[in-house]
Amino acid sequence: MTMQGETEMAAKHLSSDRSAQRTDRSVQWEAVIGLEIHAQLATRSKIFSGASTAYGAEPNTQACAVDLGLPGVLPVLNEGAVRMAVKFGLAIGAEVARRSVFARKNYFYPDLPKGYQISQYELPIVRGGRVTIQLDGGGEKEIGVTRAHLEEDAGKSLHEDFHAMSGIDLNRAGTPLLEIVSEPDLRSPQEAVAYAKKIHTLVRYLEICDGNMQEGSFRVDANVSVRPAGSHAFGTRTEIKNLNSFRFLERALAHEIERQIEVLESGGAVVQETRLYDPDRNETRPMRTKEEANDYRYFPDPDLLPLVLEEAYIEAVRAELPELPDARRARFVSDYGLPAYDAGVLTASRELADYYEAVVAAVGGEPKLCANWVMVELGGALNRAGVEITASPVGPEALAGLLRRILDGTVSGRAAKEVFEAMWAGEGDADAIIEARGLRQISDAGAIEKLIDEVLAAHPQQLAQYRAGKDKLFGFFVGQVMKASGGKANPKQVNELLRRKLDAGG
Amino acid sequence: MSLGPDEVRRIAWLARVAIREEDIPDYARNLSRILELVEQMNAADTEGVEPLAHPLELPQRMRPDEVTEEDRRERYQAIAPLVERGLYLVPRVIE
């Protein structure tokens, strides 16, 4: 939720910038964007070895002989990683290859001890699929997924504090990755973010990736070019790396699109290169390129046989698929009568959707009231505290306990917010807080009538003016009654009883 | 197809192999002969033949997703040239 809020703010900021810059252009430019997403698969062990993939261990304590590339070792494929890739393929309606092949991608870097990365090249495990994104102005768009392939991650290099040496931690080496490559179907930074978020939501629904962008479990690279609107040829593209949040993805693309347009409009040519995004300066700059950088000399890895998947295996994985986000969103609209917007927000993560459904079940209905509280009060509190829904100090049962007290008239909506804050602070359940703080709403008609009588008796002048036709004073009397009750009178009842009393007297 | 000295230097660089300048003509000749062999094979009609990924006609076996390796950092690092705070140290590489 935090990320979403930030992205929306960034989007507003960007769209105003862009419209200001675009209007005086003679040529209308169109951006063409494709994303490569590396999702770390949530296996316990590595893709080709039995070393642990747990995050945050002491350096090199989870790097075994296979991960270190010691002589004589052989890779053995992890079935869990294969199953997760198949799940993803089925979820996007792709072809899951009955036969796929692992290849060596050759390059030299110290965090890649073998001198090659085991990846898939010509015959990936997942081929061709689609995801649907929701556009800002309403409407939907289908984005093609060219392929998704299995590969191993590299280690990490640390460049600081080693007296002119680099330190290498190979714990991450061999962690399974699913590289998800989109078609160049995206036409704006906003669409790119919507697509990346969609894939992020999907991999978390499927429980194949924890989606933690700070820890690098979900990494996005963007290929971007521009061309005159209406043209079908592609312009020269650049690749942007180092995009570890949705906000940076959006900003980096907006910046890079502007940069390319400026280059072209001043008569220059875009150079095909890899650029790094620098969030501190909000700019992209070229990586120092070595001319041979892209000569990877792929060839089939002789250490690994072709991966052959039986029909029965694929069907067994299909049977494990959970309800997917699009289906769940549609069900929230049809079953709970929620607006499409609410359904979209509530199904953005599986955990949030689960939470919401647990609240509705515990309340026993009232889905719109539940949606408002989950999205506004709870969502706001989570956002402010920077806490994930799964770590919410107020659980779904507890929130339902409060909503039941709103529904049965025990507390007003205003007092309920105070109760919620106290629940968030750990003061107990709703009933205990209502009692301890004396927030029970006065719904006893007799008590309210008594208050009304007292207020009318205390303000004879206003009463006379009201009866002479000054209707506006009705609000004054409501305010006085509420004040006399210490804010605890049920406002709806105050209105009804006051109206009856004044009208009867008049 | 015949390789020139620049291409030999580039191939050597890609493979991180140090070669002597005076050996380049020999390498160029030998590598070119390999390419000639490939060109001969390219002439064969492979229409409808599935590319061979592995000479064994067997599928890849898989292992269950279980952690089976324990920490043996001390043993592995005992043979490393330079180690500090658990990290392998290498000549500085930075983009």
Express each pLDDT in A297-313 by its tens digit: 899 999 999 999 999 99
What is the predicted pLDDT for the residue at A486? 81
* pLDDT exceeds cutoff 50 at A191: yes
Shared-domain flag, residues A171 and A242: yes
Q: Do A50 and B69 touch (CB under 8 A)?
A: yes
Within 10 angstroms of residue A206's Cβ, the number of other Cβ atoms is 21
Instruction: Choose among A64, A78, A288: nearest Cβ to B65.
Output: A78
Mean pLDDT of A130-144: 91
Shared-domain flag, residues A311 and A337: no
8 Å CB contact between A154 and A173: yes
* CB < 8 Å from B in window 41-60 of A: 43-45, 49-52, 58-60
Which value, in Å, is the radius of gyration of the alpha carbons in chain B?
22
| Number of domain units in chain A | 3
Q: Do B90 and A110 touch (CB under 8 A)?
A: yes
Least confident of A389-403, B26-40, B48-62, B66-80: B48-62
**Number of alpha carbons in the 13 Å side-chain half-sphere of residue A173:** 28
- The first and second tokens of residue A439, run together, are 């927030």
DSSP secondary structure, A21-88, as one string? HHTT-SSPEEEEEEEEEEEE---SB-SSSS-B--TTPSTTTT--HHHHT-TT----EEHHHHHHHHHH
Q: Give the pLDDT confidence of A95-128 residue by residue, as tens digits.
A: 999 999 999 999 888 999 999 999 999 999 999 9
Q: What are phi and psi of A220, to 5 degrees?
A: -120, 130
8 Å CB contact between A249 and A196: yes
**Number of alpha carbons in the 13 Å side-chain half-sphere of residue A491:** 11
Mean pLDDT of A420-447: 89
Shared-domain flag, residues A384 and A452: no
Q: Do A60 and B69 touch (CB under 8 A)?
A: no
Mean pLDDT of A153-173: 90
Instruction: Choose among A61, A78, A307: nearest Cβ to B71.
Output: A61
What is the predicted pLDDT for the residue at B88? 95
Quote the percentage of chain A above a pLDDT of 70.
93
CATH number of domain containing A483: 1.10.10.410
- How far off is chain A from B7, nearest CA to CA, in Å? 12
Last residue of a domain, one of A280, A300, A317: A317
Shared-domain flag, residues A353 and A477: no
Shared-domain flag, residues A301 and A369: no
* pLDDT exceeds cutoff 90 at A39: yes
Q: Give the pLDDT confidence of A61-81 residue by residue, as tens digits.
A: 999 999 999 999 999 999 999
In angstroms, the Cα distances linking A446 to A210, A382, A451, A485 are 57, 41, 9, 13
Full domain range(s) for residue A244: 2-317
Q: Where are the domains of chain B?
A: 5-42
Q: Which chain B residues are within 8 Å of A168, Cβ to Cβ?
A: 87-90
Q: Do B93 and A49 touch (CB under 8 A)?
A: no
In angstroms, the Cα distances linking A304 to A195, A386, B53, B58 are 33, 44, 9, 10
Q: Which chain B residues are within 8 Å of A298, Cβ to Cβ?
A: none
* pLDDT exceeds cutoff 90 at A23: no
* pLDDT exceeds cutoff 60 at A259: yes
Chain A to chain B Cβ contacts (< 8 Å): 132
- How far off is chain B from A309, nearest CA to CA, in Å? 9
Last residue of a domain, one of A317, A342, A359: A317
- Mean confidence (pLDDT) of chain A: 90
Last residue of a domain, one of A317, A350, A382: A317
What is the predicted pLDDT for the residue at A437? 87
Place of tokens 């070595």: A290
Shared-domain flag, residues A140 and A218: yes
Q: Which chain B residues are within 8 Å of A118, Cβ to Cβ?
A: none
Which value, in Å, is the radius of gyration of the alpha carbons in chain A?
30
- CA atoms B33, B36, B41, B47: torsion sign: positive
What is the predicted pLDDT for the residue at A9? 42
Compute the C-alpha angle A130/A136/A139, nearest 5°.
Answer: 55
Least confident of A175-179, A303-307, A449-453: A449-453
Instruction: Choose among B56, B68, B86: nearest Cβ to A60.
Output: B86
Q: Which residues contact A388 (CB under 8 A, 6 or more apart)?
A: A351, A382
Mean pLDDT of A367-372: 96
- The first and second tokens of residue A71, run together, are 């002589």
Shared-domain flag, residues A312 and A347: no
Higher-pLDDT residue of A364, B93? A364
How far, in Å, CA of B61 to CA of B75, rounded? 29
Q: Do A167 and B87 touch (CB under 8 A)?
A: yes
Shared-domain flag, residues A292 and A171: yes
Check CB contact of A410 with chain B, cutoff 8 Å: no
